[in-house]
Every structure is written in structure tokens, then in C-alpha cells.
């Protein structure tokens, strides 16, 4: 009985308090934030898709990737057609591009587009993202999967091959981007090595 009365007293006492933001010295009403905490990030709209070839192998890939809004070959250039689905992101938009090789034959490139924090099931390696400043600049880098992807478990073998990761900050900015020449050179070396 006494415990119940104490709880009722504290609930009444605490709920009767009102806090006036203008009395708090570090509250900045113009931004709706506490000074020093940084502005509330604006969400950006990013395309969310994967090339169709990922869908055929999804049972093997679902441990690595997060399901996109759509699997389509239009993911190669989402700007070219209307109706490509998008998602709202609080991080940056990204595009992943990797060579599509079947039986040692280069077919083209496969694409993944989405939010930085919603493409990989176990996320990107934060150290690699900081080193290459993916959060700060709109740019592309070709990196090994083992350096870029976080493994599900530390005992898992490293992921093989290279991917090109492009980051950008802006609505629907993760559209088609020409591959840098270094990526093509590495691809040609890989294809030559496989064929020979």
C-alpha cells in the first residue's frame, strides 16, 4: 500500500513538471536540436533494386544481401525508365557494381542500388567506409569484398572478388555511373587470368 502511494505521488509530481526549452542554455530552437549534437539528418530518396541475375541465386545470396524493392535488369540505369522503386534513407545512397561472369565468360555488369545501411545484411566495414570517405564525398572506389563487407561470423572465409562501390548524397542520385578505367583494367586482367 505504501509503495503504491509513493508511486502515485512520484508520477503526479514528475508529470506536473514542464520544461521550457528557452531556459536550457544549449537548446537551439531554430534547428530543433541540442547544440553540439548536429542537425537532424535529412532523409534522401534512393533507388532500391538489384540486377535480375541476383534473383536466380537469391537462396545463396540472402545471407549476404538485404532484399531490394525489385529485381530487374533496368537496375543498370534506373533513371531511364519511370516507376523504378525508391526507399527513404537516413544514410547515403549507394550503387554496387560487379562483373557478371558465367563459366569464365564476361557477360556484363550486375548492379545493386539502395541505402548504405540497407544493402548488406551484416553491413559494410566501417573502417573501409571511413578510410575512403564514402560518407563525405560523392565518389566511386573499387575494393575487394573482403575489405568492404562485414562477414556474418569471424570464422567465415573472406568474400572473394572486387566490387565497385559508389556513394552519393541526394535524391535518386544512385543512378548509372561509368566504371572508372582502373576497374575495367582489373576486370580485363581477371578475365585474361581465368581464360589462360
pLDDT, tens digit, for every residue of 139-193? 899 999 989 998 877 767 677 889 999 999 999 999 875 444 445 545 555 555 5
In a domain, 26, yes or no: no
In a domain, 110, yes or no: yes
Domain count, the chain: 1
Residue 153: the pLDDT is: 75
The residue range of the domain holding 54 is 44-195
pLDDT beneath 70, residues of the chain: 1-41, 155, 157, 177-196
In a domain, 39, yes or no: no
Residue 83: the pLDDT is: 85
Specify the pTM: 0.68
Question: Rounded to an integer, what distance in angstroms lies between the CA atom of residue 13 and that of residue 8?
Answer: 8
In a domain, 164, yes or no: yes
Q: Are 55 and 68 in contact (CB under 8 A)?
A: no
Amino acid at each position: 500500500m505504501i509503495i503504491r502511494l509513493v508511486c502515485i505521488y512520484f508520477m503526479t509530481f514528475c508529470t506536473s513538471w514542464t520544461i521550457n526549452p528557452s531556459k536550457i542554455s544549449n537548446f537551439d530552437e531554430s534547428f530543433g536540436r541540442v547544440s553540439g549534437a548536429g542537425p537532424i539528418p535529412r532523409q534522401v530518396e534512393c533507388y532500391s533494386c538489384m540486377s535480375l541475375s541476383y534473383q536466380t541465386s537469391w537462396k545463396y545470396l540472402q545471407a549476404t544481401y538485404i532484399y531490394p524493392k525489385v529485381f530487374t535488369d533496368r537496375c543498370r540505369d534506373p533513371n531511364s525508365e519511370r516507376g523504378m522503386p525508391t526507399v527513404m534513407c537516413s544514410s547515403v545512397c549507394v550503387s554496387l557494381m560487379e562483373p557478371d561472369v558465367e563459366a569464365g565468360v564476361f557477360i556484363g555488369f550486375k548492379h545493386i542500388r539502395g541505402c548504405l545501411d540497407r544493402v548488406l545484411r551484416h553491413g559494410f566495414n566501417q573502417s573501409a567506409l571511413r578510410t575512403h570517405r564514402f560518407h563525405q564525398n560523392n565518389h566511386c572506389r573499387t575494393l575487394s569484398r573482403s575489405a568492404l563487407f562485414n562477414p556474418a561470423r569471424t570464422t567465415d572465409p573472406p568474400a572473394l572478388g572486387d566490387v565497385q562501390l559508389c556513394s552519393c548524397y541526394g535524391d535518386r542520385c544512385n543512378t548509372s555511373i561509368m566504371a572508372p578505367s582502373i576497374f575495367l583494367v582489373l576486370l580485363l586482367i581477371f578475365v585474361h587470368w581465368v581464360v589462360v
